Amino acid sequence: MSEIVNKDSPAKNAEKVTAEVKTPEVPMTPIKRKLKKLKRDPLQFFKDSQAFLKTQKGLDYTWAKMGSFAFVVLASMILIGYFGIIASPRYVSEAQFVVKQSGSSDLPIAGLASLGAVTGTMRDALIIKEFIESRDMAVSLDESIGLKGHYQQAGADWFSRLSASATVEDYVDYYKKHLHVHHDEMSDIVYVEVQAFDPEFALLLANKVLELSEKFINSIGNKMATEQLRYAQGEVERSHDILKQQQARLLAFQDDNKLYSPEQEGGALVQAINGLQAEIIKADARLKELRAVMRDDAPEVRSQRNLIDSLTKQLAEEKSRLTSSTGDQSLNKVNTIYQEIKLSVELASDLYKSSLASLESVRADAYRKLKHLLIVQYPALAEEDKYPRRAYNILTWFVTLLLMYLVGRLVFAIVKEHKD
């Protein structure tokens, strides 16, 4: 066998010698070994780390000492970390106001009658309260100052801000949770508290709430007042047109009959008739006196008789002008038509005056119904955040977790006792 091996070629023997000679390995640094291990098995690398081992050892020790109460401690530490460090501050701007109607004469109701009684100002205050908490107010605030976008800003923590994909309903619910409105029944004062992530926006939000509230409370009676004013103005215009028509009719009648006033004309005619009758009486007395001393054919008697005949004819003509059973030109018939037209003008004038008075009354009543928000406390710029109430929330959650833990232990002990 050795002979056969020796007979191999020198090249093959050289390769065998080279293969038998191994290259010395270069030693790896600790960092390279850790990186190689991390690349090969990340989970095992994490489990073998000193931090994980210490944490596991601490948890085991805590569990051995505290048992399930460790969950309460862990949850409390999470809550402390969130409310103490992560939770975004919310600033508050407050306002107080009273709804007051112009010219209001509401008197306080004393005694037992005040129980359950609702005055006008109290009703308005309750309406304002409901409006501030309504969907319409939330939508109006978003359209005017971008409230929804403010609540969705990325600067606030995830638990505090409104979701970017929130619907209108989600936004309205979020708005109601960050708003507080209270009505004091004794003083009728409405307290409004709004929250925002920065003090400047909270102040802007509070002022906008007051502005929109005043517009809303005025719009309630504004429509009715506007309709009343429109109707009153229409009545004024209608009565004025009627008055102009009757006045034009009166002028046309006076022009057609060439008379300014049949009453005055009739009065003058009556005086003339009375004067003629008096002259006839005097002339007749004079005739009798002349006939007593003169013959009937005496010139003076004939002249006096002619005078009486002339006065009698003139009296008949004047009387025919005043009254006549035929024709439409007699003064009494003209005066009757004139009085009818004149009465129509007077009625139209009275209607016009009444319409003007009614219009002024409606305008005054509309002003008296105008309502204002009397500001008791104006919104102010907050210097420090009010929410979240960190200590209160931490204490409340800790007490809640503690009660849940105690109830759970009690239930567990009862179940275990029954099993045994």
pTM, two decimals, is 0.59
Q: What is the mean pLDDT of residues 108-135?
A: 71
Confidence band for 301, pLDDT divided at 50, 70 and 90: confident
pLDDT tens digits along 259-279: 666 666 666 667 777 777 788
- What are the DSSP E strand ranges found in 38-189? 91-101, 179-183
DSSP secondary structure, 139-171, as one string: HHHHHHH-HHHHHT-TTS-TTTSPPTT--HHHH
More confidently predicted of 60 and 12: 60
Residue-level length of the chain: 420
Question: Does residue 89 have a cis peptide bond before it, meaning omega lies within 30 degrees of 0?
Answer: no
Whether 179 shows a pLDDT value over 90: the answer reads: yes
108: Cα separation from own chain's centroid = 26
- pLDDT value at residue 411: 85
Contact 190, 98 (CB under 8 A): yes
Where in the chain are the domains?
32-87+389-420, 90-227+372-388, 237-368
The residue among 359, 367, 357, 358 whose CA lies nearest residue 104 is 367
Residue pLDDT, tens place only, 124-153: 889 999 999 999 999 999 999 999 999 999
Which of 44, 94, 102 lies closest to 225 in space, CA to CA?
102
Average pLDDT of the chain is: 79
Residue 371 host element (H or E): strand 371-377
Structure-token pair, residue 241 = 């047109």
Angle, CA 311 vertex, CA 308 and CA 313 arms, to 5°: 110
Interstrand relation of 371-377 and 91-101 (parallel, antiparallel or unpaired): antiparallel
Give the type of residue at 44: Q
Would you say domain 90-227+372-388 falls under CATH 1.25.40? Answer: no
Whole-angstrom distance, CA of residue 237 vs CA of residue 227: 15
| pLDDT (tens digit per residue) in 35-61 | 666 677 676 766 666 666 666 666 565
